[in-house]
Structure 1
Amino acid sequence: MVQLPQLPKAFWAFHDQYYRAYRRYAHLHLGDAHAAGELVHRVLMHLAMNWAHLMEEANPAASAWALLKETVAGELKLQGRQPAMPETAILQLVMRAVLESSRHEFEVIESALGLYPAIARLPERQFDVLVLRHVLGFSTDTTARIMGVTEATVRSHRHLARRKVAKELGIALDADCDDEE
């Protein structure tokens, strides 16, 4: 019988902290919860087997995030398809709008056909921030931890992304639109 090495407690803490967020991100792009779970499992097992190397990285969380994104992109390429994000993102926005009864969310849904292409054209980090913050509903501090960046970086990318998307969609933003929710 093969004895597997015991994983360090730090790995399990990392797993507990990021598993759900990684799975939600993968599901958003793959459109399949089961496939997303399997993909995230593969990514986390890769990280576990290479834990010592990951811990030598300047920013382990950012390196792990990059691996997740590469793996999702690779899976989509392997399947020869585009991300399922327009459909899954719109569904999540509708659910959030109904739950939050927010007029602003309904305005976003009304422009949803143009929203995804506008978001998809954003620079990579701005795209990630909008997806994590507004589609998946993570807080600024959680988004920062997931991406391996500072909260100030998240706020900056969010500000720039919202301005670009609003301009492209012809939506006027309130003066306090960048206040944290």
Structure 2
Amino acid sequence: MTENDKKDPRTTRRTEARETRIPLEFQAFHQRFYRPYRRYAELLLGDEEIAKQVVHRVFYSLLVGWKRLMEEANPRESAWGHLKEAVDDYLVSQDREPAITETAAFYYRFREQMDDLRDRFAALETGLGLYAAISKLPPRQLDVVVLHYVFAFSRARTADILGVEEATVRSHLTYARRRLADELGIDLDTNRTDN
């Protein structure tokens, strides 16, 4: 860069634009994961606008640390962890619990996705026991139940979002179903595998 270039504001703007370009890989990551991240945050936070803000901050943070994230052993899993931490931090800052039990959309979507358990759950006097049981699941089981059953992502897509193997998702779903059945006093067909 010459001395004249340093003084020319057009050159300075072009240089700054080159330095602040968003990597294509990040753009692809954002396009692939923004929607499930936002839906997950909305379910737990119970507010669409707050979820958008939290997820926007997460993606901005991921962009700022993109090179470092790409050096991680499993960038997708690290990014998901960043989202979970941001959602948890927001809930703690507001002294709130996750909004799963209050989210009506969760109720309807969950019932649509869990056809094999619908009749058993319908026999319950209220869905609140189910939601309370789901909210008590260990974090990773909660994640796979929400992504797979609530948002109807396939096991493969759920694994992709979480940055884990599909077999891991299958295992978490199996354990989550067992925990929910135990919590709700439902006898499950133990020979069945999750879809």
TM-score w.r.t. structure 2 length?
A: 0.82
Q: Specify the code of the residue in structure 2 equivalent to 1:93.
A: Y
Partner of 1:105: 118
Pairing partner for 1:145 from 160, 163, 168: 160
- Segments of structure 1 that go 5 or more residues without pairing to the other structure are none
Moved more, 167-176 or 99-108: 99-108
Percent identity between matched residues is: 47
Moved more, 41-50 or 104-113: 104-113
2:136 matches 1:121: yes
Alignment of 1:67-86 (within 5 A): 67-86=82-101
State the 1:82 CA deviation. 1.2
State the 1:135 CA deviation. 1.9
Partner of 1:42: 57
2:107 matches 1:93: yes
Change in CA separation of 1:120 and 1:101 when aligned onto 2, cut-off 3 Å: closer
What RMSD in Å do the two structures reach over aligned CA positions?
A: 2.2
Kept in 2: contact 1:93–1:105 (CA 8 A): no
Pairing partner for 1:51 from 29, 53, 66: 66
Distance 1:166 1:103 in 2: 12
State the 1:47 CA deviation. 0.4
Larger Rg over CA atoms: 2
Distance 1:68 1:161 in 2: 21
Pairing partner for 1:163 from 175, 178, 194: 178
Q: Secondary structure at the match of 1:117?
A: helix
Q: Secondary structure at the match of 1:171?
A: coil
Partner of 1:33: 48
